[in-house]
Amino acid sequence: MTDLLYSETEDDLRATVRALLADRAGHQVLLDRIETDDPYVPGLWKSLAGDIGAAGLLVPEKLGGQGASHREAAVVLEELGRAVTPLPYLTSAVVATETLLGLAGEGGGPAVELLAELASGRKVAVLAVPLSTAPDAEPFPPGAPEAGPSPSAASDAGPLPASTVAGVADAVAADVLLVPRADGLYAVPAEEATVEPQTPLDLTRPLARVTTRPGTGTRLADGDAARTAVRRGLLAGAGLLASEQLGLAERCLEETVRYTRERHQFNRPVGSFQALKHRMAQLWLDVVGARAAARAAADALATGSPDAPLTVAVAQAYCSKVAVRAAEECVQLHGGIGMTWEHPAHLALKRAKSDQIALGSTGRHQDAIAALMDLPAPA
């Protein structure tokens, strides 16, 4: 049976993460950081990933992790979403980690070594695909096999051109890039790649153009195994992104309720006007639904349920909308103050809108549902 509640362990983890973020990554800290070239709060990754052990939640203990599950990682993401924290958690601790876990079945090897480094938080890795890539997308380029480090694989066609992927989230923080190439998945050290920052809509999740040259890096897996692993990584990412969206939506609603209770106009708190109350109550209903959907996705991933692709698509199709609506309502119901750079509402709006596109758009996830549930489009 799908468990949609939170365990005591999960509640404890939430409290720990929330306290850390309140202490170190408050709104003013974030507003100050986004004015610099580097939005990440110094030392925060080490505290969350290393000291608390959050980076290794998905990794079994024998591979150097915490041996927890997607349920716990989802709670961490709820908190990161609440605080709109710039950290490479979704990209490294979920998508890259889950991709490597998909390759770790074979025993040792470079994937397992890298996994242990990610789990401890010593290294950050990101999958070098656009942030918008859906779980059922095909991120592997067609074409000739890699003119790779193995001499037997050398191509007659001469050296291949370097390949570039734009919109790679958190690449600027990565030590290692997981690069899909025609013949498999490669781990490329960041110093062997070119990472050019792009200007993102979401200032708290940096994007970059990543260029890698053939022949660099270590091949982790060949075509089919690599495809399966990457799909697994993206599915976990999409499923747990719903928890980030839930946390963000919940915080936006709380802040809006708090503000409209205090703000007086026409000699009344504006939150006493029915037109506004109904909008906030409706948003609360949406958040209640988002929690059920996000929990279902986290639980389906944690238990390896065959229902996971559907549950993840449902959570994404729903939670994306709720997060955007909550952030938009937050801006609107704060009035003019909601339009200012000083007020943090814009950070949430930019994250929510960017999250709506991340890891598959609403329409893309709906198409997945249509296929899985036999609800076909017109012929």
Partner 1 sequence: MTDAEELRSRVRQLLAEHPPATTDRTDFLKARFDAGLAWVHYPVGLGGLDAPRALQAVVDAELAAAGAPDNDPRRIGIGLGMAAPTLLAYGSEEVKSRFLRPLWVGEEVWCQLFSEPGAGSDLAALGTRAVRDGEDWVIDGQKVWTSSAHIARWAILIARTDPDAPKHRGITYFVCDMTDPGVEVRPLRQITGEAEFNEVFLTGVRIPDAHRLGEVGDGWRVAQTTLMNERVSIGGARIPREGGMIGKLATTWRERPELRTHELHRRLLDLWVDAEVARLTGERLRQQLVAGQPGPEGSAMKLGFARLNQAISGLEVELLGDEGLLYGEWEMRRPELVDFTGRDAGYRYLRSKGNSIEGGTSEVLLNIVAERVLGLPPEPRNDKDVAWKDLAR
- Closest contact distance (angstroms) between CB of 319 and partner 1 is 9
The token pair at 272 is 């006493």
Continuous segment of H or E residues that includes residue 126: strand 125-127
Contact between 370 and partner 1 per CB under 8 A: yes
Candidate residues 318, 329, 348, 351; the one interacting with partner 1 per rule CB under 8 A: 318
What is d(CA 24, CA 241) in angstroms, rounded to the nearest whole number? Answer: 22
Q: Which of 187, 222, 4 is nearest to 113 (CA)?
A: 187
Candidate residues 292, 328, 353, 357; the one interacting with partner 1 per rule CB under 8 A: 292
Candidate residues 272, 337, 340, 342; the one interacting with partner 1 per rule CB under 8 A: 272
Estimate the share of the chain in helix, then strand, then coil, as percent rounded to the nearest 5: 55, 10, 30
The 294-313 site mask, x for binding partner 1 (CB under 8 A), equals -xx-----------------
What is d(CA 301, CA 292) in angstroms, rounded to the nearest whole number? Answer: 14
Q: Which is nearer to partner 1, 140 or 273 (CB)?
A: 273
Q: Which of 167, 80, 170 is nearest to 357 (CA)?
A: 167
The stretch among 50-58, 138-146, 154-162, 271-279 that binds partner 1 (CB under 8 A) is: 271-279
Candidate residues 102, 271, 338, 344; the one interacting with partner 1 per rule CB under 8 A: 271
Residues found in the chain:
379
Contact between 274 and partner 1 per CB under 8 A: yes
Return the beta strands (E) in 134-242 as ranges: 163-169, 176-181, 184-189, 194-198, 207-212, 218-222
Contact between 378 and partner 1 per CB under 8 A: yes
Q: Which of 15, 38, 22 is nearest to 204 (CA)?
A: 38
Contact between 24 and partner 1 per CB under 8 A: no
- Closest contact distance (angstroms) between CB of 269 and partner 1 is 5
- Closest contact distance (angstroms) between CB of 7 and partner 1 is 11
Contact between 243 and partner 1 per CB under 8 A: no
- Closest contact distance (angstroms) between CB of 43 and partner 1 is 36
Q: How far from each other are the two terminal CA atoms of the chain, in whole angstroms?
A: 37
Q: Which of 187, 227, 240, 294 is nearest to 57 (CA)?
A: 240
What is d(CA 247, CA 335) in angstroms, rounded to the nearest whole number? Answer: 23
Using CB under 8 A, which residues numbered 322 to 351 contact partner 1?
none
Contacts to partner 1 by CB under 8 A: 2-5, 253, 257, 260-261, 268-269, 271-274, 277-278, 280-282, 284-285, 288-293, 295-296, 314, 317-318, 363, 366, 369-370, 373-379
